[in-house]
Chain A
Amino acid sequence: MPLKTMPKSRVRVEAARLKAYFETLGAIDVETDILLPAEVLLDLYGEDIRHRAYVTNDPARGEMMLRPDFTVPVVQTHMDSGADPARYTYAGEVFRKQDDLLDRAAEYIQVGYEVFDGSNPAAADAEVFAAFSDILSPLGLRAATGDIGILMAAVRGLKTTETRRNALLRHIWRPRRFRALMNRYSDKGAEMREENFARVRANMAANNAPAIGLRTETEILDRVMALSTDAAEPSISSSEIELLNDILSLKETVPHVLSALRDIAVDMDAILPAVNQLRARVDALDARGVDVENLEFETAYGRTSMEYYDGFVFGFYAEGRADLPPVATGGRYDALTSVLGHGRSIPAVGGVMRPAMILAVQEGAL
């Protein structure tokens, strides 16, 4: 039966089956509101979420959003409960506008599994992936994995100013701007950096406009100073840029990636802890019976679609159907819990699946 005409009643039955499965793994069933205050989500995801989620206005409560995903309300529920460690499962509708892909569903049921357990992150990552892999195995899906933590560790280890490292980290999830920044801080950007500062100096000399708006003169001068400092600062070395490119282009099976990363770590020891973390995760996956020898790994996987995922990331796809959304996705999102907890970090890893897609794949009706 095609995805679009799949009756909701059937999808609900499948969702209940999946949720029951996660309960046997020790997860507690949680419910969250469908109508969520928009403020938290907007602050977290910015303008993108406004264009993906349904926003509505309540004269008393302000802007409200139809639940675009479960992550935020489940994390909030967990933070209020104080339980630690904890495992949760849920099933329910999420709502997404599909501006660019009009044929995709705007309302569909998701089932999820989230693990809040900081005692052994590698083991928790493996636990979530194996749980998904096991229940999805009859479908013959293609699994994709990645680890945003490796790129982040490489950026944090760059021998350059903290300002530059922070600017790159801020754009980890926006490859195009990340690339532009890399170029600007490299040798080929040296001239551009000088020109930038010269341009701003010329603007200052010519400026006779009144200061208007909330952004103050001090803030403007701070940025001018930053541009001046950056123009005087040496470039990030071409060898470091090359290593970053090597890391970004890694796409291989896990054993090959591990050996390539160990080579890179010889010249860039800052990534060692992240590589060791990957190794520990691979061992934990192996111990859970996952075929790690043939597991695909791509360093850049999840960079465009999964802001706030800052470690392990994974997805399961119907083979040969790159046009369809993934059947399941997930990953580690410590950065998100840290923002929601105002600095109080709670290690968290989890994932979601779409029961309607599972049914469709089962029937080969895609």
Chain B
Amino acid sequence: MTIKLGIPSKGRLMDKTFDWFAARGITLKQTGAEREYSGAVEGIDGVELVLLSASEIPRELAAGRIHLGVTGSDLVRDKLVGWDTKIGEMSVMGFGHADLIIAVPKAWVDVDNLDDLDAAASAFRKRHGFRLRIATKYHHLVHEFLKANGVADYQLVDSQGATEGTVKNLTAEAVADITSTGETLRANHLKILTCEPVHKSQATLFKSRTAPWSDADRATMFELKQKLELGD
């Protein structure tokens, strides 16, 4: 048996993950042609590399098809209901930082925080006959956040891309999206609410609670934790 380690199959997230493990004496490598999704692990025995789309890693961890996985904490919390019953956080990795934030048109001089958003939503619904629309792909996290803060009279509308453009296109009044620099938001005449972000995301190493862990796997895991300098 081997421990399956799922990591993002392309881009900066993959490169940074390779660097993170390399700094700890474990070399992860893409094998074969550059675009072939297979890999190898050096520096420890009994660990197999699986290259996956970052958005599929939460699901694979929850289903127990991989033992360990690297992905954004935002994806885990939004995609997995009761996430901490199925998987555990082993280590934050210090890269891939991005905040899930709520933004409104900069021209809304009367709205800076959640109190304002709630008041604006109430008046908007009365005037327009429907709830103020917030475009997002993070339905679960945004709903939990707004519910905990008692915001009413809004609705979430699904937007899987170019979310910042929805306000100008009149398909939403506000947006909830991931941002690291806020540049796209500014370019689209939006401003971020001053409250705490809905979620502060970063690349995180997760462990599956549902995957089969044989004795050999546990021994490998113990060794891996030592190398990664992780406690229990």
Which positions in A face B, CB cutoff 8 Å? Answer: 42-43, 46-48, 50-51, 99-100, 102, 167, 170-171, 174-178, 180, 184, 199-200, 203-204, 207, 209-215, 217, 219-220, 222-224, 226-227
Contact = CB atoms under 8 A, between A and B. Distances in A.
A51 B143 contact: yes
Would you list the 8 A-B pairs with minimal beta carbon distance, nearest first?
A177-B150, A209-B106, A203-B109, A174-B150, A223-B110, A213-B167, A209-B107, A204-B109
A184 B119 CA distance: 13
Contacts of A176: 148-150
Contacts of A177: 118, 149-152
B154 A99 contact: no
Contacts of B189: 209-210, 212
A219 B124 contact: yes
A201 B131 CA distance: 27
B109 A224 contact: yes
Given A170-B122, A171-B150, A174-B150, A213 B109 contact: no
Nearest to B133: A214
A213 B168 contact: yes
Given A102-B82, A213-B173, A46 B153 contact: yes
Contacts, number: 109
B154 A215 contact: no
B146 A47 contact: yes
Nearest to A213: B167
Given A209-B105, A213-B168, A223 B173 contact: no
Contacts of A180: 115, 150
Contacts of B82: 99-100, 102
A167 B131 CA distance: 16
Contacts of B170: 213-214
Given A48-B147, A213-B173, A223-B119, A170 B109 contact: no
B35 interface: no
Nearest to A170: B122
Interface residues of B, number: 44
Interface of B: 81-82, 85, 105-112, 115-116, 118-120, 122-124, 127-128, 130-132, 139-140, 143, 146-156, 167-168, 170, 172-173, 189
Contacts of B149: 176-177
B123 A219 contact: yes
Nearest to B151: A177
A210 B151 CA distance: 26
A33 to B, nearest CB: 23
A213 B152 contact: no
B107 A207 contact: yes
A224 B110 CA distance: 6
Given A99-B81, A177-B150, A220 B108 contact: yes
A270 to B, nearest CB: 23
A288 B156 CA distance: 47
A217 to B, nearest CB: 8
A100 B108 CA distance: 35
B112 A223 contact: no
B81 A212 contact: no
B123 A42 contact: no
A338 B82 CA distance: 37
A204 B82 CA distance: 43
27 contacts: A46-B131, A48-B147, A50-B143, A51-B139, A99-B82, A102-B81, A167-B119, A171-B150, A174-B150, A176-B150, A177-B150, A180-B115, A180-B150, A184-B115, A200-B109, A203-B110, A203-B112, A207-B109, A213-B172, A214-B173, A215-B132, A220-B108, A220-B109, A220-B110, A222-B123, A223-B120, A226-B119
B155 A47 contact: yes
B123 A223 contact: yes
Contacts of A223: 110-111, 116, 119-120, 123
A205 to B, nearest CB: 9
B110 A174 contact: no
Given A209-B105, A209-B106, 4 more contacts: A47-B147, A51-B143, A177-B151, A222-B123
B156 A211 contact: no
B65 to A, nearest CB: 20
A325 B188 CA distance: 46
B136 to A, nearest CB: 11
Given A46-B155, A170-B152, A214 B128 contact: yes
A102 B85 contact: yes
Nearest to A223: B110
B49 to A, nearest CB: 31
B152 A174 contact: yes
A164 to B, nearest CB: 12
Given A46-B152, A170-B152, A212 B109 contact: no
Contacts of A209: 105-107, 189
